[in-house]
Amino acid sequence: MKVSQKGLYALQALMMLARHYHQGAIKIREVAYEEDLPEKFLELILLELKNARIVESVRGAKGGYQLRRPPAEIFLSEIIRLIDGPLAPFGDADSLRELIDRDSNHRSLYMVFLQVRDAAAKILDSTSLADLLHESDTHGSGAKKRSRKKKEGSVLPMVVHGSKAPYES
Amino acid sequence: MKVSQKGLYALQALMMLARHYHQGAIKIREVAYEEDLPEKFLELILLELKNARIVESVRGAKGGYQLRRPPAEIFLSEIIRLIDGPLAPFGDADSLRELIDRDSNHRSLYMVFLQVRDAAAKILDSTSLADLLHESDTHGSGAKKRSRKKKEGSVLPMVVHGSKAPYES
DNA sequence: ATAAAGTCTATTGACTAAGTAGACTTTAAG
DNA sequence: CTTAAAGTCTACTTAGTCAATAGACTTTAT
């Protein structure tokens, strides 16, 4: 699974709209300015998000975009699937299950791919825009413990930064 | 993280060489035939694997390729990183850690990306070619339980097929 | 009416993916 | 020492994708 530049822009734009969730329609230009995104490109992205019913638009003067659902009900998996496709590292979950059933010589390889996709799905299906906001509007200095009520399902608070993964990249 | 067609070919070719680990150099043509891979393309892939010191070649008549290390010491993460780049869904682990430190507005988003990459790394760093072989040379009919000695670190035996992930893809 | 906004279609330039082609080098065997 | 069989290396191609940009069109508040 790869998140493209476009996918990142989409996530940033949605986080911005989530921050301003109470404030009615936000102009493309404001989103682009606040998140430093190319305006014309952002336009296409928001259109796509609109067609997917994640945001809605108000046309004409005083128009703009807003989320169609509360930030706590918009999950990263949904956005990433929309913009960048399946979460699986190869093909998609269905085709992998097909291959696991049919291609006996490479079954175990495809099973590993499916495991990887399931691990990604578990994280991305349980992280919402709201989860991201609650973590990140504390700007800069890393307070080690915040007494934030731990939301059910969010996996974010468990992150320990200095984890030192085995290899790199 | 995305595994390309080329990455899949590389993994298939290496699995084939792992299956024939005892038998000296195997010709490109034989690998291509047995795994049904495009011969000329496979040539380039094997060359790349050779430069990365994963396989070695024997030139001239009677030449071919063989693994440089036992199958149990070649991990999927190594191959995938070589052919398809970093495991992270965006950028690589280092750049993500940089962003987590520097970009306070999107910190939590990058932390999620890093979590996804860590989850993938955990699986792919602990699955070797040998693990794949032990699972898959049982051709066809799905024997539910095999009394295979469970190798330390391999995550494969824990896979339950009918797991029904939340969404698709 | 007009200006400010979103909508839609097309185009671009750079890059990558997935091969293919062909000349070159090395080696075993006769 | 010639030859055939193998790997090596460089170049090319063809199609597609990515990250935009351009510009005409439509809708709406004032």
Range 38-57, chain B: CB under 7 Å to any strand C atom: 38-41, 43-44
pLDDT in tens, B19-63: 999 999 999 999 999 999 999 999 999 999 999 999 999 999 999
Quote the minimal CA–CA distance from B36 to chain A in Å: 12
CA B126 to chain centre: 10
pLDDT in tens, A25-76: 999 999 999 999 999 999 999 999 999 999 999 999 999 999 999 999 999 9
Contact A31, A37 (CB under 8 A): yes
* Gyration radius of chain A's alpha carbons: 19
The pLDDT of residue A27 is 98
Confidence of residue B149 (pLDDT cuts 50, 70, 90): very low
Enumerate residues 6+ apart whose C-beta is below 8 A from B110: B90, B96, B99, B100, B103
Weakest-pLDDT range from A44-48, A54-58, A119-123, B158-162 = B158-162
Look at chain A and count its residues. Answer: 169
Helices (H), A36-159: 39-51, 76-84, 93-102, 107-124, 129-136
Q: How far apart are CA A73 and CA A69, in angstroms?
A: 6
In this prediction the pTM is 0.88
From the CA of B23 to the C1' of D21: give the distance in Å.
58
Q: CB contacts < 8 Å between A and B, how many? A: 162
From the CA of A46 to the C1' of C8: give the distance in Å.
13
The token pair at A158 is: 């468990």
Residues of B in Cβ contact (< 8 Å) with A7: 90
The pLDDT of residue B163 is 39
Confidence of residue B164 (pLDDT cuts 50, 70, 90): very low
Which of A23, A26, A22 has the alpha carbon at shortest distance from A46? A26
Q: How far apart are CA B169 and CA A83, in angstroms?
A: 13
The pLDDT of residue A134 is 82
Weakest-pLDDT range from A49-63, A147-161, B1-15 = A147-161
Q: How far apart are CA A20 and CA B120, in angstroms?
A: 34
Q: How far apart are CA A27 and CA A64, in angstroms?
A: 4
pLDDT in tens, B93-119: 999 999 999 999 999 999 999 999 999
Quote the minimal CA–CA distance from B161 to chain A in Å: 8
Kindly tell me if the per-residue pLDDT of B167 is higher than 70. no
Mean pLDDT value across residues B65-87: 98
Nucleotide nearest to B43 (CA to C1'): D7
Average pLDDT of chain B, as a whole number: 87
Query: Residue B133 is which amino acid?
Result: L
CA trace torsion A8, A14, A16, A19 (10° rounding): -140
The pLDDT of residue B135 is 72
